[in-house]
Structure 1
Amino acid sequence: MRDVNIDWANLGFSYIRTDLRYLSHWKDGEWDAGQLTEDNTLHIAEGSTALHYGQQCFEGLKAYRAADGSINLFRPDQNAARMRMSCERLLMPFPTEETFIEACRQVVKANEHFLPPYGTGGSLYLRPFVIGVGDNIGVRSAPEFIFSVFCVPVGPYFKGGLTPHNFVVSDFDRAAPNGTGAAKVGGNYAASLLPGAQAKAGDAQGRHFADAIYLDPATHTKIEEVGAANFFAITKDGLTFVTPKSPSILPSITKYSLLHLAEHRLGLKVEEGDVRIDELDRFSEAGACGTAAVITPIGGIQYGDHFHVFHSETEVGPVTRRLYEELTGIQYGTVEAPQGWLVKVN
């Protein structure tokens, strides 16, 4: 066990090597027993399909130090279900929901001293992944696979925590119609690197953006994703939570948690459907949501020559703040969780 010397109050979202990670191999039709290892370097064949053909998928979830000192995993069964869908889309074996959750539990317990203390706003981010490996050169499913889980202590994904950020609509597509947009695969993220960099570089007016917004790839008229996060908005009357629905959107566990909380805790109407980019005036608040960002309020969206401001570029809207407090309260154990949402690690 290495000494941990981390400035918890200023923890960002970057790689920090932790002590142990889970590793399991699939070969000859079955997974091995899996084990924890100190080695943070993967040793794979040069012909691995993960390297050449993008046969890989991953997940992201968090462990939280609760107010009572226990450790909460937030909805790991939903991450397991989503990884199963990603694996099926890419013809990869999945190591069962029970193995997935147990691997996450083992990694958190083995690296508990890297878990940020309660009250710091930090968490332990877990990155499970499955990749195709083994000697290969043809375009086919791999002969072998690796399932691994590692963890990293993290703070807010965007600097400033729950503060509004501006975004710009990109001309690029994040995913193709009927493609892999709903699977959590690396190719979707590789495609976002250039538009994301362009957004952060800013426009001719000197305005810089946190990331790019992607429209539906078929018509370029409807909002789909905000960088690597899902989009939501609150109608001007403050009564309805709206979020896009599309076969090329990654089904965000955070988004579906917010949908539930908006309806059952805040008493809002909820709508999952088309969100047209030319109808932003319907909304008084908007945000990006996901495991990494949790909720990032959207101050404004640049679309062509028009810059649309929601509640404020500097202040968080009241409904967005209530949703954030409800969700994070559940995660940190200060608000009662819906049945089955938390798995205790210790």
Structure 2
Amino acid sequence: MSTALHAAAHADVSSAFPLVRTAHPVSEIERAAVLAAPGFGQYFTDHMASAVWTPEAGWHDRGVSALKPFSLHPGAAVLHYAQEIFEGLKAYRHADGSVWLFRPEVNARRFARSARRMGLPPLPEEDFLASVEALVRADEAWVPVSTGEESLYLRPFMFAAEISLGMRPSRSVQYCAIASPAQPFFGSVMRGLTLWVSTSYTRAARGGTGAAKCGGNYGASLAAQADAQRHGCDQVLYLDGAGEEGCIEESGAMNLFLVTSGGELITPAALGTILEGVTRDTVLALASEFGLKAVERPVTFAELREGIAEGTVTEVFAAGTAAVLTPVSGIKGEGYELRVGDGTSGQRTAALRARVLDIQYGRAEDPYGWMRRVV
């Protein structure tokens, strides 16, 4: 599909979220100052997309309007039972000034899966796409011109808004999408992360909410993250059980990958206890381009430790929307410290990372049809 037709094909969909522009936008001077050094998640654009759900009316009151605070009753269900989900994706400005989303359909489908797991009404995929597209169009001036992986980070979320302490799914639900200009999450330098192997905390259990992108999973991770930082590490390496006898799962908010000397690209299998990341799926799809065989299977910590020590695990990296692909240079635990390879970013990690970014920023062809033009 041509660029013009691609944009036109989604124009009517986005109109499902009509725009009422703010009367008080951030000035051009203030916006330019923010875009010069946005950090990550510190500043927000002028507008937000929103919709409301009730059993009687379904999804309604769709629109894009001025960014403003929510007014919540102290008895709002989300404040007591954490019935909430969210997503994260980015808008990228290409060299010709156009703005694109990367695989937003996958985020839309995961958002619906998370909603069902948390007892929330799934937002139709077309509404998810329409809301984020309409928000990006409204705040297109906030999409940075990239000089070092800058982007506009989008955060769709949904929460239980009913005023009730009844222990049941909420009968009133609020959906919203906000946007924040962002620099690289770990900075522009490809430094390696050091992971702390947690034997005190686990991320999820079979039958739990591990595969859902819900706030409770991330709130529960903060103590483990603080523990990792006390030990001089950047992120946590979670196992699926107490002690070091289990299998590896995730690293903080990122999926993990191992590159082996035998040409395999291994990631823990998605068995309901880890998040099936969009970047994770992307990396698996790209593996064959780099002569790697993609493998999804359980990986014990003992296997990882032995592979690093013997040199059969040559690279380890983390993958996520915010982190893109970030190399792991070391793994620490009680009484030991392992260095991955020579402690620098591996060649396969760097090549895969460059490939993902080149597609996202329009520097390379997109043979997979992953990019979706918005502006």
TM-score (normalised: structure 1): 0.93
Matched, 1:16 2:43: yes
Per the TM alignment, residue 145 of structure 1 is displaced from its structure 2 partner at its CA by 0.3
More moved, 286-295 vs 272-281: 272-281
Per the TM alignment, residue 29 of structure 1 is displaced from its structure 2 partner at its CA by 4.1
Q: Which residues in structure 2 correspond to 1:301-312 (within 5 Å)?
A: 301-312=331-342
Q: How far apart are the structure 2 equivalents of 1:77 and 1:105?
A: 12
Aligned length: 338
Counterpart position of 1:137: 165
Q: How far apart are the structure 1 equivalents of 2:38 and 2:60?
A: 36
The residue matched to 2:238 in structure 1 has which SS? strand
Counterpart position of 1:334: 363
Counterpart position of 2:72: 44
Q: How far apart are the structure 2 equivalents of 1:9 and 1:289?
A: 26
Counterpart position of 1:266: 290
Counterpart AA for 1:26 = W
Q: How far apart are the structure 2 equivalents of 1:96 and 1:317?
A: 40
The residue matched to 2:351 in structure 1 has which SS? helix
2:259 to 212, 234, 237: 234
Q: Quick one: structure 1 residues 74 and 8, their matched pair in 2 at CA, closer, same or farther if it must change by over 3 Å?
A: same
- Rg larger for: 2
Counterpart position of 2:130: 102
2:328 to 262, 280, 298: 298
Q: How far apart are the structure 2 equivalents of 1:176 and 1:29?
A: 36
Preserved contact between residue 12 and residue 159 of structure 1 (Cα < 8 Å) = no
Q: How far apart are the structure 2 equivalents of 1:194 and 1:21?
A: 31
Per the TM alignment, residue 47 of structure 1 is displaced from its structure 2 partner at its CA by 2.0
Structure 2 unpaired stretches of 5+: 1-24
The residue matched to 1:34 in structure 2 has which SS? strand
Counterpart position of 1:178: 207
Counterpart position of 1:216: 240
- Please give the per-residue CA displacement for 1:44-93, whole angstroms capped at 9, x wherever unaligned: 33222211111110000000011222111000000000010000111111
Matched, 1:345 2:370: no
Per the TM alignment, residue 187 of structure 1 is displaced from its structure 2 partner at its CA by 0.7
Counterpart position of 1:205: none
Q: How far apart are the structure 2 equivalents of 1:218 and 1:78?
A: 32
Q: How far apart are the structure 1 equivalents of 2:61 and 2:369?
A: 27
**Identical amino acids, percent of aligned pairs:** 36
Counterpart position of 1:285: 315
Counterpart position of 1:5: 32
TM-score (normalised: structure 2): 0.86
Counterpart AA for 2:50 = L
Per the TM alignment, residue 177 of structure 1 is displaced from its structure 2 partner at its CA by 2.4
Q: How far apart are the structure 2 equivalents of 1:40 and 1:162?
A: 36
Matched, 1:35 2:63: yes
Counterpart AA for 1:118 = S
Q: Quick one: structure 1 residues 25 and 336, their matched pair in 2 at CA, closer, same or farther if it must change by over 3 Å?
A: same
1:117 to 108, 129, 145: 145
Q: How far apart are the structure 2 equivalents of 1:311 and 1:160?
A: 22
Q: Quick one: structure 1 residues 336 and 278, their matched pair in 2 at CA, closer, same or farther if it must change by over 3 Å?
A: same
Counterpart position of 1:252: 277
Counterpart position of 1:193: 222
More moved, 129-138 vs 211-220: 211-220
The residue matched to 1:270 in structure 2 has which SS? strand
The residue matched to 1:231 in structure 2 has which SS? strand
Q: How far apart are the structure 2 equivalents of 1:161 and 1:125?
A: 20
Structure 1 unpaired stretches of 5+: 203-207
